[in-house]
A and B are shown apart, each in its own frame.
Chain A
Amino acid sequence: MATESIGWWGVPLAIAAGTIRGSAPFLFVSLGECLTEKSGKINLGLEGTLLMGAMSAYAISYLSSSNGIPTWLAPWLGVFTAGVAGMLLGTIHGWLSQQPKVNDVAVGIAMIIFGSGIAFFFGKAFIQPVAPQLPAFELGNWSDIPSIKAALKISPLFLIGVAIAPIMQWFFKSTRWGLYIRAVGDSPEAAKAMGISVYKVRMFSIIAGSFLAGIGGAYLSLYYPGSWSERISSGQGLMAVALVIFARWNPVQCLYAALLFGGAQAIGPALQSVGVNSYYYLFNASPYIFTLAIMIITCSPKRTLSGSPGALGTEN
């Protein structure tokens, strides 16, 4: 009844709710990708990492809760495992993409296939069972309108992601390690002259970035949509690369970009909720169209983008 009474106002509300629910995976993968790209390497394989994170989080949450671990703890164990699983995939990427003559974009494509393969292989057994989910802060209980309640239901994981963005910004700007990463990403030669191991710094950045992407996957399977299936990811891992370009390699802008993309993703379901069904699939493709449009507008063949790490996409 309440939804009917607010009528078309339900659309912006549903989009707002969808933004808050759906932007966390974008946020985590884009922060991970941002950290990786700052060191001068691209990780296109975060889609595989995301799927791996989603699967392992769900599996561990289910297995640990059925083995006597309390249900408030089990999903958090899952989140942690997802991060560790991401780190394992990141180690492969970090090692392989730094071999001579090996193209990091190609390694990323291979990691998409490998990561999703492993996730689907081990995830087969967990499609049916129900795992304990992550809790949420219900900030909308003062309202009687279900869509407002839904809009103000916020996952703690999302808040952690929001907090990481400015911390990462500060890390790049004001810490020694942040400087190392930026030096390696902008000018590996200069970094070498400073006595920094380019290999180790990039390895660290890729592994840490993959940790974040794995957590983004855990959010998918343990909060929203909240179950494990092979179609759980809608390409957030792939869009991360475009999102970081849009955010100009700036973690805080990654946050804004993630919100924007999460919002674009919520348009289709929001319109469906008020009965607009005819262009459902096309509206669902809006994040991709949106990403492409943004890249067409912001890229230029004549100059490199401001904020772009100097060594990105070069052969070293």
Chain B
Amino acid sequence: MIFTEKWRTTLEKICIPIAALAVSLVIFGVFCAAAGANPFAVYASIYKAAFGSWFSFQNTLIRAAPLMLASLCTALPARLGLVIIGNEGAIVIGGLSAVAAGLSVQGAGPFVVQLAMALAGIVSGGVWIAAVGALRHYRGVNETISSLLLNYIAIALLNHMVGGPMRDPTSLNKPSSYPIPDADMLGNIPGTRVHFGLIYGIIACLIAYFLIQRTTFGFAARTVGGNIRAAKIAGLPVGKLTLIICFLAGSCAGLAGMVEVAAVHGRANESLNASYGYSSILVAFIARQNPVAAVFVSIILGGILASGGILQRAHQLPDATVLVFQGIVFLVILFSESLYGRLAIFKEGVKPQMPGQNLKPQT
């Protein structure tokens, strides 16, 4: 009995997000048809660009890596009941400090340079989001708004640094920092074009899962998220937990920034604030703040991001199509939140039915 109960809720947790993705695909298809494109051709193009071949799947994985890392920036604090959306700011700050650190230890050998970059990204991103947690805990400042504002401040800081103090005079059209030498760049996983950031992402997600689900620390954090008053009465150090979780969350996003700089762009410039910030929030919500699920969702979303170019070339759809699709997925996923526990299929048949409990889902 207990077994089947658990089995059913697990099935519910898997089926509802998948159904939500399917429904959003349908809505997106209707949207494409209204915009004058053949929805089935669009689906085919997205599939081909994302997962169609080993070549395109590697592109997907390259995009999935920063998404995995950055999604933890939303997913970890969510366990404390905090909605933090400062992913973009932490990515930018992490990338910026990684470049600064990498350039300052230039010539010390690739290992030292990469280590310095990673540490700089982790620490700066961590402090950035820990500040959000501190403001929340000590000053009662709404964490969603403060993290959003910090995104803008981070981008301004990036523009200031690469346009002034850190500017490479040879970068004319797109102000950039001095480049990281090729020898010091993050390498690729042998036999692929995918950089090691993917491994970082998977490891970070696994550690995060273990930390939250299997340790007393994680249990304490989840208790705070469940009922903060009860947690305080039980003597849990709410402030310390908030700061640590926020630091870890930010450090993951900061590492994502470092990975982007050290493996993809090679320098800091405005490409750092390209779309991963908001997409990673979406990853966290689709994954229902579960770090292991975030790995798979990141791959799916990375594929969707990778298909932006082909939608433009093959179907004459603007590049914002990907943004529209993400918006639709996000809205449908949020609606599906209201369906948990309301669908008759996922319930024990013997339970007495309350009137109005087995409502049909509206789409």
- Which residues from chain A sit less than 8 Å from chain B, CB to CB? 44, 92, 96, 99-103, 105-107, 109-121, 123-124, 235, 238-239, 241-242, 245, 278-282, 284-285, 288-289, 291-292, 295-296, 299-302
Question: Closest 6 interchain pairs by CB?
Answer: A114-B327, A117-B323, A285-B156, A120-B320, A110-B330, A301-B140
The answer on a CB contact under 8 Å between B139 and A301 is yes
How far is A280 from B162 in the complex, measured between Cα atoms in Å?
A: 12
Binary contact readout B157-193 vs A (1 if CB under 8 angstroms, 0 otherwise): 1011001100000000000000000000000000000
The answer on a CB contact under 8 Å between A114 and B331 is yes
How far is A284 from B178 in the complex, measured between Cα atoms in Å?
A: 24
* B300 contacts A by Cβ under 8 Å: no
* Distance in Å: Cβ of B282 to nearest Cβ of chain A: 7
The answer on a CB contact under 8 Å between B331 and A92 is yes
The answer on a CB contact under 8 Å between A282 and B150 is no
The answer on a CB contact under 8 Å between B330 and A114 is yes
* B334 contacts A by Cβ under 8 Å: yes
The answer on a CB contact under 8 Å between A278 and B324 is no
* B337 contacts A by Cβ under 8 Å: yes
How far is A96 from B340 in the complex, measured between Cα atoms in Å?
A: 15
Q: Which residues of A sit under 8 angstroms from B164, Cβ to Cβ?
A: 278
Closest to A304 in B: B140
How far is A239 from B160 in the complex, measured between Cα atoms in Å?
A: 21
How far is A242 from B148 in the complex, measured between Cα atoms in Å?
A: 11
How far is A278 from B165 in the complex, measured between Cα atoms in Å?
A: 10
**Could you show 20 A-B contacts with beta carbons less than 8 Å apart?**
A101-B338, A106-B285, A110-B285, A110-B327, A111-B331, A113-B330, A114-B330, A116-B327, A118-B327, A121-B317, A235-B152, A279-B160, A280-B160, A282-B157, A282-B160, A289-B149, A295-B135, A299-B140, A300-B139, A301-B138
Q: Which residues of A sit under 8 angstroms from B323, Cβ to Cβ?
A: 113, 116-117, 120-121
How far is A241 from B149 in the complex, measured between Cα atoms in Å?
A: 11
B159, B317, B340: the one contacting A281 at CB < 8 Å is B159
* B49 contacts A by Cβ under 8 Å: no
Within 8 A of A (CB), among B328-349: 328, 330-331, 334-335, 337-338, 340, 342
The answer on a CB contact under 8 Å between B338 and A295 is no
Closest to A92 in B: B331
How far is A141 from B341 in the complex, measured between Cα atoms in Å?
A: 67
* B278 contacts A by Cβ under 8 Å: yes
Q: Which residues of A sit under 8 angstroms from B290, Cβ to Cβ?
A: none
Given A99-B335, A107-B334, residue A292 in contact with residue B327 (CB < 8 A): no
Within 8 A of A (CB), among B110-132: none
The answer on a CB contact under 8 Å between B338 and A299 is no
How far is A284 from B150 in the complex, measured between Cα atoms in Å?
A: 13
Closest to A100 in B: B338
A124, A238, A285: the one contacting B148 at CB < 8 Å is A238
How far is A172 from B131 in the complex, measured between Cα atoms in Å?
A: 37
* B35 contacts A by Cβ under 8 Å: yes
Q: Which residues of B sit under 8 angstroms from A106, Cβ to Cβ?
A: 83, 285, 334
* B264 contacts A by Cβ under 8 Å: no
B156, B160, B324: the one contacting A117 at CB < 8 Å is B324
The answer on a CB contact under 8 Å between A299 and B320 is no
Given A278-B164, A300-B139, residue A113 in contact with residue B145 (CB < 8 A): no
* Distance in Å: Cβ of A257 to nearest Cβ of chain B: 14
The answer on a CB contact under 8 Å between B330 and A288 is no
Given A103-B83, A117-B320, residue A300 in contact with residue B330 (CB < 8 A): no
Closest to B278 in A: A113
How far is A101 from B342 in the complex, measured between Cα atoms in Å?
A: 11
Q: Which residues of A sit under 8 angstroms from B157, Cβ to Cβ?
A: 281-282, 285
The answer on a CB contact under 8 Å between B156 and A281 is yes
* Distance in Å: Cβ of A125 to nearest Cβ of chain B: 9
Known: A116-B323, A280-B160. 10 other contacts (CB 8 A): A92-B331, A99-B337, A101-B340, A113-B278, A117-B326, A242-B149, A282-B160, A299-B141, A301-B138, A301-B139
The answer on a CB contact under 8 Å between A292 and B324 is no
* Distance in Å: Cβ of A226 to nearest Cβ of chain B: 22
The answer on a CB contact under 8 Å between A289 and B153 is yes
* Distance in Å: Cβ of A290 to nearest Cβ of chain B: 10
* B107 contacts A by Cβ under 8 Å: no
How far is A302 from B35 in the complex, measured between Cα atoms in Å?
A: 51
* B353 contacts A by Cβ under 8 Å: no
* Distance in Å: Cβ of B189 to nearest Cβ of chain A: 31
Binary contact readout B263-277 vs A (1 if CB under 8 angstroms, 0 otherwise): 000000000000000
* B321 contacts A by Cβ under 8 Å: yes
* Distance in Å: Cβ of B129 to nearest Cβ of chain A: 14
B163, B318, B326: the one contacting A113 at CB < 8 Å is B326
